[in-house]
Each structure stands twice: as C-alpha cells, then as structure tokens.
Structure 1
Amino acid sequence: MNAILDQAAAHWAHIAPLLAEPHDEEDYDAKVAALDELLEVVGDDEDHPLASLALRLGDVIEAYDEANRPIPQASGVEVLRYLMAEHDITQSDLPEVGAQSVVSAILSGKRQLNWRQICELSERFGVSADAFRSISESR
C-alpha cells in the first residue's frame, strides 16, 4: 500500500465518524460542534491542511439539513412581514421602501418592490436580494 493510504488507514477510525451522515439530532449537533472547532482552527486560510475537511464536514451537515430541515417556501411579502416582526418595526420604519402608504400597498399586493428597494432591504436586513424577488408572486 502506498504511504498516503497507509496514513489514511492509520487515522481513518478517527476521521470517518466526522464524514458519516448524522444518524440523529445528537450526532448532528456533535458534527456542528466539530465544524465550529475546525473553523476556529482553519479561519480564513484556504490552504490550511484541515480546510478541505471543514468543507466536507460542512457538506455533510448541509445534506442533513436539506433532508431533515427543509426551508419552507415563503413569498417575498411573507419574508418582509417576518423581518418587520423580527426587528419590531412598523410600515413607517422602512424608509428604504418609501412612505407608509407605499409599504402598505406592497404588503397588500397592490404594488411590487423595485430593484432599488430590494437592494436596500437586502442590505438593511442582511439577507439575499432573492428573498424579496418573489414579492410579485405573492399577489
């Protein structure tokens, strides 16, 4: 066996559990904790020897999330309402959109957000602009 495979075989019993799909929430939580620790070690160094392990472990966690915790589909209006409630703001507190009457018209489906409004809301709330793009589909 070549030297790399010999090293992999010698350490595989310790690494394999990290790369296996989580079988329950406890295992999932352990993998998330391991990834957090890995990311503290690796930081932003893409050339770090453990960077590829962190990426692979992230893929394992993401696959579990997609299979077991699907993100519900939401319209842009629902997203905007959720963010307003989460940040405890009213229609008048959204100067990015315009006057309260404009926000009301958008929330009721009578108007659509324009690209400028979408970009500003995205920046304000720290979410992808795509979250608001479906706002016209909610009518």
Structure 2
Amino acid sequence: MALTINPDTYNQLLIKFQPKVIETEAEYQEYGDILIELMMETNRSEEETAILKLISALIKEYDEKQEQPKPASPHEILQYLMEEHNMKQVDLVGKIGSKGVVSEVVNGKRSISKSQAKTLAEIFHVSPALFI
C-alpha cells in the first residue's frame, strides 16, 4: 500500500533532516540518531514514515559499501579464547595432544581435528564449528 503524503509536510521534514548519501562515519552516526528519533515517534505521520524509510535506505547503502572483516581462522579463534581465559599452551597439553601438537595447532601449523575441536569446544563452552 503506497503512502499518501502531504508534500508541504514532507518538504519540511526534508529541510529538517537534509538527507543525502552518507560518506563519513560521522554522517553515519548522525543518521543513526535520526533513525532512532523517528522510530521512537509513537504517532509517526506518513511523511515521517517516508523519511524513516529514506534514512534507513541511506544507512543500508552505507553499510553495504563498508569493507567486511575477513573471518578469523580456527587457530586465531583458539588464540583469542586462550587469551580471554588466561590460558597458556601448556594448559592444553594432554587435552588435545602433546606439547609439540599443541604448539603446532595454536600457531596454525597444524589443522584442528574434529576430536580436538570437540574438546576445545567443551573447554571454552563454544560450538566445535568455530575450530573447523
């Protein structure tokens, strides 16, 4: 169902918010604040709804253009979890293998096996899929 908007009211909102393509992080934050303001409006007019949709589209467009971080590798996840839990390699010896195996796994020189992934998942209370 298409909105029926009052051009004068809509123009006033355009003047107030001055929407344009987002080019900086500061503009992105500003538009996020505008979006929240419009979403919090309990009796939002059709014109405000139209502006809300426009601002949402501009935010989405900016988000889609941002470089996505590359996924962490299983050994990077392991290193992170070990750091967060104040663990050293020696803490995993005997649980996922010998001292040499643990060193190779933690440093990414050896893949994490399914059984090691299951053990690590139990140790860190996460899904084994993180390590595979």
Q: Provide TM-score, normalisation by structure 1.
A: 0.48
Larger Rg: 2
Q: Provide TM-score, normalisation by structure 2.
A: 0.50
